[in-house]
Amino acid sequence: MGNVVLVVMEQRDGRVRRVALEALHAAQTCADAETRIAGLLIGSGVRAQAGSLAAYPWSEIHIADHPELEHYNPEHYFAVVHRLVEQLQPGMIWFGHTAMGRDLAPRLAARLQAGQISDITAVERSGGEILFKRPIYAGKAFETRRLTRTPGVITVRPNNFPAEEPNGAAQAAPLIEIPFTPAPDLRTVVRDVVRKTRGRVDLSEARIVVAGGRGVQSAAGFKPLEELAAVLGAAVGASRAACDAGYCDYALQIGQTGKTVTPEVYIACGISGAIQHLAGMSRSRIIIAINKDPEAPIFKVADYGIVGDLFEVVPLLTEALKQQA
């Protein structure tokens, strides 16, 4: 492996996403004593964030701070990453397996003619080689891959690696400013960002997810789920059936054609358990299913099942949790 590793730290709304620290931990797993681990933070007004991250085990943190970088623009962000990669010549470049990472990583790999492994869930060393584990066939099986050329471009599935902890005893990593000049002939311009997701917890990184299916019966049927999520500090998700029925926005969709989530606890309310939905949540650590149909397929993958009407069970569960708080 090259003596430099680069971790691209994604931020949103002024906060570095947890998956960036998970990618840092994965990069540390691959590093040796001589490896420099560099971070890259892109955005507008992100110097304060970089300062708070300096106590983590970075060798250096590079900052691209400019008003034009406030919102993700693939051309601007790619230009920043590619320029720094050419400068540092890293052996590996790490991203979170997020919408941004899934967009930037293959662009970068194609430009560099690099090896790419996406959506990894584990890293191990064997016989001097670094091996990467990733799910295939909608999570029904796993494959192990290795890089055959450098640099390697890697994306990390959220909630599969522990987030790296700050090393308070270490000397703070130096912050290095990257000059940025907006390109005059952009093919893509971001005019505005409209958010339609419910709640404040990021669905893809949530430790607990409360999801509703066609069984919620209406948009108003999500209210008990949102109340439960508020007590648990959870994110709210949905099956495709609920989205297709117009009960919620497609931004909440979990499944083969939606988001893939791997929370510690997944509470499925009124979700039958179609294979397309299971593809997006079956790797959750604990699955709790609430459904009035005892034959619903979701019970076959659930660790705990409650046969009952979600409109009776969920409020009772919410009230019990409030009393425990």
H/E run at residue 321: helix 310-324
Which tokens sit at 234?
Answer: 């959870």
* Contacts of the segment 58-63: beta carbons below 8 A, 24+ positions apart: 58/24, 58/173, 59/173, 60/36, 60/173, 60/174, 60/175, 60/176, 61/173, 61/174, 61/175, 61/176, 62/38, 62/176, 62/177, 62/178, 63/175, 63/176, 63/177, 63/178
Beta bridge mates, 203:
none
H/E run at residue 42: strand 36-43
Q: For the chain, what percent of residues have pLDDT higher than 90?
A: 70
* Domain 4-177 and domain 203-324 have a common topology: yes
At residue 213's C-alpha, the angle toward residues 211 and 219, to 5°, is 90
Please give the residue that has the higher pLDDT: either 12 or 207: 207
Q: Give the pLDDT of residue 185.
A: 79
Q: Give the pLDDT of residue 170.
A: 56
Q: Give the pLDDT of residue 267.
A: 98
Q: Give the pLDDT of residue 2.
A: 56
CATH code assigned to 4-177: 3.40.50.620
Which tokens sit at 147?
Answer: 């890089």
Q: For strands 122-126 and 129-136, give the pairing.
A: antiparallel
Domain boundaries, the chain: 4-177, 203-324
133 vs 230: CA distance, rounded Å: 34
pLDDT, tens only, 247-306: 999 999 999 889 989 999 999 999 999 999 999 998 899 999 999 999 999 999 999 999
Statement: residue 197 has pLDDT above 80: no
277 vs 322: CA distance, rounded Å: 30
pLDDT, tens only, 123-180: 998 888 899 999 988 778 899 999 998 899 999 999 899 988 887 645 678 899 999 9
Q: Which CATH class, in words, describes the domain spanning 203-324?
A: alpha beta
pLDDT, tens only, 53-112: 888 889 999 999 999 999 899 999 999 999 999 999 999 999 999 999 999 999 999 999
b/e per residue 258-291 (b: at least 16 CB within 10 A):
bbbbbbebbbbbbbbbbeebbbbbbbbeebbbbb
